[in-house]
Structure 1
Amino acid sequence: MAHYKHILVAIDESPISYAAAEHALDIAKLFGGKVTLISVIAVDPFSGVDFYKVAPAVTDYFMQAEQNALDRLNDLKQTFTREGIDLDIRIMHGLSPSEGILQTSKELPIDLIVMGSHGRKGFQKLVLGSVAQKVLGASEIPVLIVKE
């Protein structure tokens, strides 16, 4: 059986990502592992455009998105810390969620990625894509997908 010493957990605003965090907490307690929680701020569609000078509301939107992500991660951090789990948090920008998760899994000594899947099917999946599917297909390490 594999020993998971460092687990990466993808967190967004969805309840399923919190369920994924609970699974990661259980695994970390079982193996005495460390956990890194990551939240990826969606790719800025206006990057490279001097749009921020024109529309400060867009800047405010991205600043609020980052604050919301930080609040979620810090809330979860308290739970992990109470349980005695060594935990780091990370927020990434400028990448798609799947790219951010995969890049972090290569930068850190990650043994397992845990993430939720929204369970989109058909046209929704085609149009919106599936972060979980992209990570699962490209990851070189095990990926645990928690489903709704």
Structure 2
Amino acid sequence: MTYQHILVPVDESPISYTAVEQALSLAKLLNCRVTVMCVVAVDPFVGVDFYKVAPAITDYFMQAEENAQKRLADIKQSFIRDEIEVDTKVIRGVSAAEGIIQIADEVSADLIIMGSHGRTGFKKMMLGSVAQAVLTQSPIPVLVVKV
């Protein structure tokens, strides 16, 4: 199978950058497009009225989005240097897994390359696994890069 469009979700973790390197290598090899994305997730308390108006919370989300945009701009340069067609996206207001699936559909990606921290047992149960959720929900192949 050949791929035409790779989606790479990233966050601030080093494993995200390992996934970016894998996507960069594969995109060069297959001469395909890449979309790199970040999710600025919503906190579970978003429905609480005081939460929406709290200046500290608003500042937090504004800073999170600014950091995501900077991260994407830096990553984009790696693909541009190698003459790979690249777009970036930030999605807000959804869970990480939901955002990844949504953007994959929106850009017609045919492969998702993402990192996983490889948590198991209690840590996985308490913290969840975005990679696991994407693996189970995605209608397209997912390549999971682990540390």
Q: In which range does the TM-score fall when normalised by the shorter chain?
A: over 0.9
Equivalence for 1:115: 114
Equivalence for 2:19: 20
CA RMSD of aligned residues (A): 1.0
Which whole-Å CA distance do the structure 2 matches of 1:111 and 1:25 have between them?
A: 15
User: What stretches of structure 1 move > 3 A for 4+ residues in a row?
Assistant: none
Q: TM-score, normalised by structure 1?
A: 0.95
Q: State the AA in 1 paired with 2:90.
A: I
Equivalence for 2:142: 143
Equivalence for 1:49: 48
What residue ranges of structure 1 are gaps of 5+ in the alignment?
A: none
Match of 2:113, SS state, is strand
- For these two proteins, the number of residue pairs brought into alignment is 146
Which whole-Å CA distance do the structure 2 matches of 1:120 and 1:49 have between them?
A: 31
Q: Percent identity?
A: 60
Match of 2:66, SS state, is helix
Which whole-Å CA distance do the structure 1 matches of 2:45 and 2:64 have between them?
A: 15
Equivalence for 1:4: 3
What residue ranges of structure 2 are gaps of 5+ in the alignment?
A: none
- Give the CA deviation at 1:105: 1.3
Q: State the AA in 1 paired with 2:108.
A: P
Which whole-Å CA distance do the structure 2 matches of 1:107 and 1:118 have between them?
A: 26
Q: TM-score, normalised by structure 2?
A: 0.95
- Give the CA deviation at 1:110: 0.7
